[in-house]
Amino acid sequence: MDVLTALSNKSDYSKNQLQLIVGAWILGSLVEKKAKISLTNGDVAEEDYDKGSLYSLLYALYRSMGDVRDEHGKRYEFTFNTWGYTWPEAWGPSPTKSSMPERYGQNAYAGLYHFKEVQEYVAARDGKVHVIEMGCGTGAGANWVCGSVLPKCTYEAIDMQIAGIKTCQRKFVPNHNGRLKATHSDATRLSIPDGAADFVAVNETHVTEYAGVVTAEDERFFKTAHRLLKPGGYLVWGNAIPDATWKPCFAFLESIGMKVEEECDVTAEAVKARDEDKARIDTYVDQCIEAFHAFKIPRLGGKRRLQAEIALKNFARNPGTNLYDNMVNRTDTYKVVRVRKTP
């Protein structure tokens, strides 16, 4: 069993199923010709994994772990699948406190709406704006925005992973009196009518990953964002992606009737967040490894344990991993951008 490619985005695996899947992955190391996960820095080549399988595994893992401890012993459920960043001083007072375990993810979502023009747009509608999020994960960010950032908005959160959407429906939708809806769909194949959204939010959604190119999926993604927006509405987009990919993405957006009005580079703040978050991520990974019995199988279990540890840390861009180094040397840059659909 190859957990990087074999799992389905239409399944929400139970803890028992995950135990079996991890066991099968460990036994699979007997026949693996070449390790896909680098033990040096956790790198996995793009062609060696499928994002449907990867996030299916991660969201089932987050849910099955339930409440975990942060590095100070505070209990929380790991739900933000977000690197995020420390709040830039130039943006004014921070919306989060140091006691909040997932504050960097919360900053990233609040940051999508920090722009003066966005705040004016919201104020002009007395806060009653409609947001569509493409790639919401578990909906942790949607919950934070509905509760604290845009407390009068309505919000449709969309992800291709049923496991993430089920977490949103269980944990977050009930908090908002019908204002938050969670939808399981590929965000490029939505039947939502044209012009439904004041804002399309894209936060660290796993698209635009290939250096220097806009793929066919990326094009479909941006065309959908354009279609969903009201004229004059905003695409608010934050992510750490290959630096060489921003320019072609902006050119494509401009070619379909969008104007890239503002871009903020928060790469330094994103690196700082990963430094400050390292102890929490290390503590989380330890708890995950401890929860899966098959890692205790002599020899084979130990080998896969090291791979699982470094891979989880790499996906979190923890210091010492490939994805962290990519931000430090600016192969990947983290930007927050405001793009307007031509009124």
Please report, as ranges, the residues that interact with ligand SAM according to CB under 6 A.
51, 55, 80-82, 105, 134-137, 140-141, 158-161, 164, 186-188, 203-207
Tokens of residue 19, six digits:
């135990």
Which residue, 107 or 188, has its beta carbon nearer to ligand SAM? 188
Which residue, 158 or 294, has its beta carbon nearer to ligand SAM? 158
CA distance 165 to 5: 20
**Shortest Cβ distance from residue 230 to ligand SAM (Å)?**
21
**Shortest Cβ distance from residue 293 to ligand SAM (Å)?**
27
Which residue, 137 or 233, has its beta carbon nearer to ligand SAM? 137
Give DSSP secondary structure letters for 148-159.
IISTT-EEEEEE
Cα distances (Å, whole numbers) of residue 115 to 13, 154, 189, 339: 39, 19, 29, 11
Give residues with Cβ within 8 angstroms of 50, minimum separation 6: 4, 5
Residue type, 317: R
Which residue, 217 or 282, has its beta carbon nearer to ligand SAM? 217
**Shortest Cβ distance from residue 87 to ligand SAM (Å)?**
16
Which residue, 109 or 295, has its beta carbon nearer to ligand SAM? 109
**Shortest Cβ distance from residue 26 to ligand SAM (Å)?**
25
**Shortest Cβ distance from residue 256 to ligand SAM (Å)?**
17
> Crossing angle for the helix pair 267-291 and 51-65, nearest 10 degrees?
60
Measured in whole angstroms, the distance separating CA 7 from the mean position of its chain's CA atoms is 19
Which residue, 7 or 140, has its beta carbon nearer to ligand SAM? 140
φ, ψ of residue 15 in degrees (nearest 5): -60, -40
Which residue, 54 or 288, has its beta carbon nearer to ligand SAM? 54
- Beta bridge partners of residue 200, listed in sequence order: 132, 235
**Shortest Cβ distance from residue 78 to ligand SAM (Å)?**
10
Which residue, 209 or 297, has its beta carbon nearer to ligand SAM? 209
- Beta bridge partners of residue 191, listed in sequence order: none
Sheet with 197-203, edge to edge strand ranges:
180-184, 154-159, 130-134, 197-203, 229-242, 332-341, 258-265
The helix (H) or strand (E) run that includes residue 29 is none
Looking at beta carbons, which residue is closest to ligand SAM? Answer: 137
**Shortest Cβ distance from residue 120 to ligand SAM (Å)?**
25
Q: Report how far apart the first and last C-alpha atoms of the chain are (Å, whole number).
A: 51
Strands (E), the chain: 67-69, 75-77, 130-134, 154-159, 180-184, 197-203, 229-242, 258-265, 332-341
**Shortest Cβ distance from residue 182 to ligand SAM (Å)?**
12
Which residue, 187 or 289, has its beta carbon nearer to ligand SAM? 187
**Shortest Cβ distance from residue 128 to ligand SAM (Å)?**
24
> What DSSP character marks residue 88?
P
Picking from 129, 75, 125, the residue whose alpha carbon sits closest to that of residue 283 is 75
